[in-house]
Amino acid sequence: MKATVTFIKKEYQIDLSKPLDISMPLRGNATNVNAWYVEHPHIAPHQEGDFVGSVSKGASTNFNDIWFNPHAHGTHTECVGHITHDFASVNQSLNRFFFLAELITIVPGKMGADFVITKKQLQNAIGERQMEALVIRTLPNTASKISRQYAHTNPPYLLEEAAAFLVEIGVEHLLIDLPSVDKEKDDGALLAHKAFWNFNGAIRSKATISEFIYVANTILDGTYFLNLQVAPFENDASPSRPVLYKIKD
């Protein structure tokens, strides 16, 4: 199944039958990826009186309750409502779902006790390419990212200058395989979030940040089309399933 997509008056051919899923699955136990000091997700049969929503327990259907936090428990997409006093919903902010994207791989550099992604690293990796979405894979990149427990580990993050640079070059949708674009413990400064959404100026209300993606090593750096779909929750963030499609020569 093929499709033609247009970006800046140029047509691209993609094969919809060959998706490259860069989301993480959500599991209802302690093997699920986790951050921000909350317990793991729970998926269990609903119980009410004598009713237990499980076929194996005698019910006619499986009828599970699910508890999770989108920011802490896997791939999610967030809008500026994540950091604003007034409510804003990612379901309302994101109303297009296909974007020209660049996938880059970066080794965060040491800065004091931290590992960070700098403006210079992004400049070197991106060059002169134009894009609507940027997907950042960090190294080392192992499958352990899918179950890693990030609380109190000070993961790598973007410097404010790096986020501001992405705004300068027109990136509207940023996707990264870390729990946050900001430092884990920064006393609420949220410098990268604020820079990317231009929080102290004309807020970029349509821009999104997706965190906790996972890009397998078999997916090569380069230009793709991104299909970014979110569950239609009226919330600042929602579970999402970003999918890349190779561009045909």
Express each pLDDT in 112-124 by its tens digit: 999 999 999 999 9
Question: What pLDDT shows up at residue 240?
Answer: 98
Question: What pLDDT shows up at residue 108?
Answer: 98
Tell me the average pLDDT across 137-145.
98
Amino acid at 31: T
Mean predicted lDDT score pLDDT of the chain = 97
Q: Which residue has the higher pLDDT, 219 or 6?
A: 219
Neighbours of 180 (CB within 10 A): 23
- Please report the DSSP string for the chain in residue order: -EEEEEETTEEEEEETTS-EE-PPP--SSTTS-B-TT-PPPEEEE-EETTEE--GGGT-SS--EEEE--TTTSS-EEE-GGGS-SS---HHHH----EEEEEEEEE-PEEETTEEEE-HHHHHHHHTT---SEEEEEESS--GGGGT-B-TTS---EE-HHHHHHHHHTT--EEEESSS-SS-SSSTT--HHHHHHTTTTSS--TT-EEEES----TTSPSEEEEEEEEE---SSSEEEEEEEEEEBP-
Fold annotation for 2-26+71-246: Glucose Oxidase; domain 1 (3.50.30)
Cα–Cα distance for residue pair 149/30, rounded to 1 Å: 9
Question: What pLDDT shows up at residue 7?
Answer: 77
Pairing relation of β-strands 237-246 and 76-78?
A: antiparallel
Cα–Cα distance for residue pair 236/83, rounded to 1 Å: 9
Question: What pLDDT shows up at residue 1?
Answer: 72
Asked if residues 21 and 32 have their Cβ atoms less than 8 Å apart, the reply is no
Question: What pLDDT shows up at residue 19?
Answer: 97
Kindly list the distances between the CA atom of residue 47 and the CA atoms of 51, 58, 67, 203, in Å, as whole numbers in the listed order. Answer: 6, 12, 14, 44
Question: What pLDDT shows up at residue 5?
Answer: 79
Question: What pLDDT shows up at residue 137?
Answer: 98
Question: Which of 9-23, 34-48, 201-215 comes out lowest in average pLDDT?
Answer: 9-23
Q: Which residue has the higher pLDDT, 249 or 99?
A: 99
Residues 6+ apart with CB under 8 A from 144: none
Q: What confidence category does residue 10 fall into, taking pLDDT thresholds of 50, 70 and 90?
A: confident
Question: What pLDDT shows up at residue 88?
Answer: 98
Residue 131's φ and ψ, nearest 5 degrees, are -160, 160
**pLDDT higher than 90, residue 34:** yes
**pLDDT higher than 80, residue 71:** yes
**pLDDT higher than 80, residue 9:** no
**pLDDT higher than 80, residue 159:** yes
Q: What confidence category does residue 190 fall into, taking pLDDT thresholds of 50, 70 and 90?
A: very high
Amino acid at 220: L
Tell me the average pLDDT across 139-149.
98
Amino acid at 212: F
**pLDDT higher than 90, residue 4:** no
Question: What pLDDT shows up at residue 249?
Answer: 77
